[in-house]
Amino acid sequence: MTGIKGNGLLAYERIRQQIIEGNYLPGSRLVEQRLGIELGLSRTPVREALRRLEAEGLVRSEPNRGAVVRSVTYNEVRDIYGLRAQLESYGAGLAAENATHEDLERIDEGIELFGHLIHQLSGDSLGSVRAVHDANEEIHAAIVASAHHQRLGYLLARTVDVPLVFQSFRHFDLARSQRSHLFHQMIRDAIAARDPIRAANLMTEHILQGRDVLLEQLQRNEGPPPELFNTSE
């Protein structure tokens, strides 16, 4: 899909952030006129933004309702994370074969920032969750970039459900955060050691542990729900 610019890009970024952070709940309608008023924009850029968000899988169109925030079922959480684990583990293995010195430096920068921020993480603080989430995204993006496989990056962008990742950090205590930090370091070291099998295996375990946090929270709150995964914790 071609990129959007100007007010369309502004609308896209702001609506996307609201969805990721759980302010627009799964299943809720995204009315162009209402969003335009909230954002101080006309309906045209809002419409462009909703089309791009639908292409990314964050929004879907429903008959007689228009655009709505996509809901995620319990089984879909497992499926999404299973696919993500396969793709990112493949990327980590390729990174172990192809990463340059500059690639490793970028990974190191993300890991250092993540390690600093996890001590400030609080599920009640949107700012701290946002900062840790962004640092985590930087690490994973750097590892994927180190694979030097352009198609892989595209597939992951279509696979990773960013709202799920964001919400998982709302349920991370310090111990879980430190475990995630340790996995980042071990994956990085396996990449630097040119050990693709170990890098891939570590990445798989790392992704599936993030999945387990979400599934555990679902089971604690409601048990596996028949349809809606509500990210409004």
Q: What does the pLDDT look like over 135-193, one tens digit per residue?
A: 999 999 999 999 999 899 989 988 888 888 888 888 888 899 999 999 999 999 999 99
Cα distance between residue 60 and residue 26, in whole Å: 10
Nearest partner of 115 among 25, 195, 177, judged by Cα: 177
Buried b (16+ CB within 10 A) or exposed e, 146-175: bbbbeebbebbeeebbbbbbbbbbbebeee
Question: Rounded to 10 degrees, what is the CA torsion of 54, 154, 144, 4?
Answer: -60
CATH 1.20.120.530 occupies which residues in the chain?
A: 74-221
Of 233 and 101, which is predicted with more confidence?
Answer: 101
36-45 pLDDT, tens digit per residue, is 999 999 999 9
Nearest-angstrom CA–CA distance, 81 and 156: 11
What is residue 164's predicted lDDT score, i.e. its pLDDT?
83
| Cβ proximity of 98 and 142 under 8 Å | no
Tokens standing for 160?
Answer: 């990773």
Q: Among all chains, which residue has been given the structure tokens 């100007």?
A: 6
Residue 139 three-state SS: helix
225: pLDDT strictly greater than 70: no
Query: What mean pLDDT do residues 85-103 have?
Result: 98
Q: What is the DSSP letter of 71?
A: P
Looking at residue 228, what is its pLDDT?
38
User: Phi and psi for 153 in degrees, rounded to 5?
Assistant: -60, -40
Three-class SS state of 29: strand
Judged against a pLDDT cut of 90, whether residue 20 lies above it is answered with no
What's the pLDDT at 71? 81
- pLDDT at residue 227, rounded to an integer: 42
- Reference 198, options 93, 66, 86, 65; nearest CA is 93
In CATH, what number does 6-69 get? Answer: 1.10.10.10
For the chain, percent of residues with pLDDT exceeding 70: 91
The answer, yes or no, to whether residue 129 has pLDDT greater than 80, is yes
Give the pLDDT confidence of 185-223 residue by residue, as tens digits.
Answer: 999 999 999 999 999 999 999 999 999 988 887 777 555
More confident residue, 123 or 23: 23
pLDDT at 216: 84
In this structure, are residues 196 and 143 in contact, taking their beta carbons and an 8 Å threshold? Answer: no
User: Tokens representing 216?
Assistant: 């555990």
SS3 content of the chain, % helix, strand, coil (to 5): 70, 5, 25
* Mean pLDDT, residues 20-34: 89
Task: Check the CA dihedral 156-157-159-164 and report its sign.
Answer: positive
pLDDT at 233 exceeding the cut of 50: no
Stretch (H or E) spanning 55 = helix 43-56
pLDDT confidence tier of residue 53, bands split at 50, 70 and 90: very high
Measured distance CA(54)–CA(49) in Å, rounded: 9
User: What is the C-alpha separation between 69 and 20, in angstroms, rounded?
Assistant: 10
Question: Where are the domain boundaries for CATH 1.10.10.10 in the chain?
Answer: 6-69
Average pLDDT, the chain: 88
Q: What is the mean pLDDT of residues 112-118?
A: 96
- Identify the CATH assignment for 74-221 out of 3.20.20.480, 1.20.120.530, 3.40.640.10, 3.40.50.920: 1.20.120.530
